[in-house]
Amino acid sequence: MAEQESMSYDDVVTGRRSIRGYKPDPVPREVMEEIVGLAVRAPSSYNSQPWHLHIASGEVLDRIRWDSTERTLSGVRPSFERQETGSAYEGEHRRRQIEVAVQLFESMGIVRDDKEGRDNWTMRGFRIFDAPVLVVVTYDRQLHGGDIAPFDCGALATSLVNAAWSRGVGSVINSQGVMHSPVVREHLNIPEDQVILISIAMGYPDDSFPANAVVSRRRSVPEVANFIGFD
Ligand SMILES: Cc1cc2nc3c(=O)[nH]c(=O)nc-3n(C[C@H](O)[C@H](O)[C@H](O)COP(=O)(O)O)c2cc1C
């Protein structure tokens, strides 16, 4: 990979967006090690660092894609290990979910009644977006049930995607990659004392893939933050 000038923090956080179409080029192990080395500077509760990363490429990743796709097509119900909320998003959360989905579908030219287009889009997620790298984030099972270990892993995941972007590597945090957690556990030989939480697809962005240009919206500072005692 060519030496690239280091990006400012602002350029990383404002420029990063989820990447769902990748060049086939592999990401060298040294680049992944550098990204992970930066990412693990993330804060965690009492510096407990409850996380583990299982990073797959090549044939093993292809086997995960294949098995997840096959299970999905044959109607096997998704099985997460993490605790789900148990209910679908409603209200403003649902509205934001739909908003970004509309942005993505519009960019790809997938219209409302294009069932095949939508199905293909969904299956792309189960193929880990055809990315050359899959990162599976797990945490120590002895911490299962509390909010803090998943919180810490979220901090690590954000740190990872930003570190990757700063090195020219795109990514998308995604649930689809671990929706068939038994497949991931088996192929990556994940020990039973770890809980599979989330996955992140990574690779060099394919700039010709339309959805990669989508910039998702954010609530404004006054909508998000309640300032008290400043004036
Ligand atoms: C916990 C989590 C799960 C996600 N799952 C998926 C997924 O299954 N499929 C997908 O295409 N994107 C997924 N995303 C990506 C979000 O859609 C994306 O981060 C959000 O729309 C904001 O867009 P941006 O990352 O481009 O800023 C997920 C993100 C997070 C943090």
pLDDT tens for each residue of 170-210: 999 999 999 999 999 999 999 999 999 999 999 999 999 99
pLDDT tens for each residue of 122-157: 999 999 999 999 999 999 999 999 999 999 999 999
Residues in the chain: 231
Closest ligand 1 atom to 177 CA: 8
Q: Give the Cα separation of 208 and 90 in Å (integer).
A: 34
Nearest alpha carbon, ligand 1 atom 27: 17
pTM here? 0.96
Please give the sequence-ordered ranges of beta strands (E in DSSP) within the chain, or none if there are none. 51-57, 133-140, 170-174, 194-203
Choose one of 175, 179, 198, 219 to mutate for the ligand 1 pocket test, by most ligand atoms within 8 angstroms of C-beta. Answer: 175
User: Where are the chain's structural domains?
Assistant: 18-77+127-207
- Residue 230 Cα to ligand 1 midpoint, Å, equals 34
Position 110 pLDDT exceeds 90: yes
pLDDT tens for each residue of 14-70: 999 999 999 999 999 999 999 999 999 999 999 999 999 999 999 999 999 999 999
What would be the CATH architecture of the domain defined by 18-77+127-207?
3-Layer(aba) Sandwich (3.40)
Nearest alpha carbon, ligand 1 atom 3: 174
Phi/psi region, residue 109 (left: phi>0; alpha: psi -120 to 50; beta: rest), is left
Nearest alpha carbon, ligand 1 atom 30: 173
User: Which tokens sit at 147?
Assistant: 């909010």
DSSP state of 109: T
